[in-house]
Amino acid sequence: MRKPRVVSISAGIAVAMAAAFVAVFALAAPGYAAASDHYVALGDSYASGLGAGSYISSSGSCDRSTKAYPELWAAAHSPGTFNSVACAGATTSTVVSSQLSAVTSSTTLVSITIGGNDVGFSTIMTTCVLQGTTACVNAVQAGENTANTVLPGRLDTVYSGIRSRAPSARVVVLDYPVFYQLGTLCVGLSDTSHKKIDEGINLLDGIISAAATRNGVVFADVRSTFVGHQLCSGHDWLHSLNILNINESYHPTADGQSGGYYPVFNGYSS
C-alpha cells in the first residue's frame, strides 16, 4: 500500500496564499482590456475634455485633455491601441466627415458624446447669459424643436456609420449632465432659466437614448452621477460662466470627467 503523500504545513499555506493572490487579482481587475483591444473615442467637447485642463498641445483647437474620460480609461486599461479624435465644437456632421475614418474593422470599442452642438448649445447659453429670461426660454425652446425634428435622423446616421465600419465593436453612447441643481439659492440666471435649460438637456438626452436603442448601441447615462455636483450645488463638477475662459463655461471640470463620466463609461466598456 502506497504511503500517503505528506505536504508540509508551510508548503500548503504557500500554495493557498498563491491561489488567493491570483483570485484577488482577478477580481480586482476584471475590466482591464487585453492588448488586442482597440479603442476609438469620438465626439464633441464633452468627450475631448474641454474644461478639464491639461490639454494635449497636438490636439490644437480640439482641446483634447489628458483628463478627459477617454484618456482616463485608456490610461487605466492599457488597450492595444487608443485613438481619440473627439473635438470641441463637433457636430454629428463633422463626426461623419472627419472622425468616423478613425473607426475600422479592427476597432473593438467606441465611445461617443455628440448632439449638443447640433441643437445650438453654445448659442443657447450665450443668449441665456446676455439676454435674460424670456430670450433664454425662447432659445431653449428653439433648441428643443431642432432636437425633436432633425436630431434623431442625424444620430441614426452617426451610429449606423460606426456600426458599418466596426460591426463587432462595443459602441457606448454617453449623454450630457443636467446643469442645475434646482431649489437652491443660486446667483446668476433666473430659476425659470435654470428649469428650462435642465428641461432642454433632459429632452436631448432622451432623444440620444432612443437613437442608441434604435441602432443597437449602448446608452450610458451620466446624469445620476452628477446629482449633487451640478451648478448651484456647492460641489460643482461643471464650470459656471467663466469670463476669463469663455469656452470652458458649462463644461465638466477634471472632477466631472473623473467622477462623473469615467465611472459610467468604465461600467459599460466591457
| Residue 207 pLDDT exceeds 70 | yes
Q: What is the pLDDT of residue 16?
A: 39
Is residue 52 in a domain?
Answer: yes
Q: What is the mean pLDDT of residues 139-167?
A: 98
**Is residue 6 over pLDDT 80?**
no
Q: Can you give the pLDDT at residue 110?
A: 98
- Answer whether residue 21 shows pLDDT above 60: no
105 alpha carbon, distance to own chain's centre = 23
The three-class DSSP label of residue 193 is helix
> What whole-number percentage of the chain has pLDDT above 90?
81
Residue 26 lies in a domain: no
Q: Which domain holds residue 146?
A: 35-268
Torsion over CA: 213, 207, 108, 73 (sign): negative
Q: How far apart are CA 10 and CA 3, in angstroms?
A: 20
CA dist., res. 208 & res. 114, Å (int): 9
CA-to-CA separations, 119 to 13, 116, 143, in angstroms, rounded: 63, 6, 5
Among the residue ranges 35-44, 85-94, 173-182, 239-248, the one predicted with the least confidence is 239-248
> Per-residue pLDDT tens for 149-158?
999 999 999 9
Residue 220: the pLDDT is 98
In a domain, 10, yes or no: no
On the 0-12 / 13-18 / 19+ scale of CB atoms within 10 A, 185 is exposed
Establish if 14 belongs to a structural domain: no
The model's pTM: 0.87
pLDDT at 185: 82
- Per-residue pLDDT band for 57 (boundaries 50, 70, 90) equals very high
> Considering only CA atoms, which of 170, 202, 137 is closest in space to residue 267?
170
Is residue 116 very low, low, confident or very high in pLDDT (cuts 50, 70, 90)? Answer: very high
Average pLDDT, the chain: 89
pLDDT above 80 (res 58): yes
DSSP-assigned beta bridge partners for residue 214: none
**In contact, 158 and 212? CB cutoff 8 Å:** no
User: Does the residue 236 lie in any domain?
Assistant: yes
- Helices assigned H by DSSP within 150-190: 151-165
* Locus of grid cell 463655461: 249
Report if residue 28 sits inside a domain: no
Q: Report yes or no on 197 lying in a domain.
A: yes
Identify the CATH number of the domain in which residue 199 sits: 3.40.50.1110
Q: Retrieve residue 65's grid coordinates.
A: 485633455
Beta-bridge mates of residue 83 = 40
Mean pLDDT within 237-256: 93
What whole-number percentage of the chain has pLDDT above 70? 87
> Model confidence over 179-200: pLDDT tens digits?
999 988 888 899 999 999 999 9
81-84 β-sheet, strand order: 81-84, 38-43, 109-113, 170-174, 218-220
Q: Residue 211: helix, strand or coil by DSSP? A: helix
- Nearest of 77, 76, 72, 78 to residue 86 by alpha carbon: 72
Residue 24: predicted pLDDT: 37
Q: Is the pLDDT of residue 23 over 80?
A: no
Total residue length of the chain: 270
Q: What residues are labeled active site? A: 45, 251
Residue 11 included in any domain:
no
Total domains in the chain come to 1
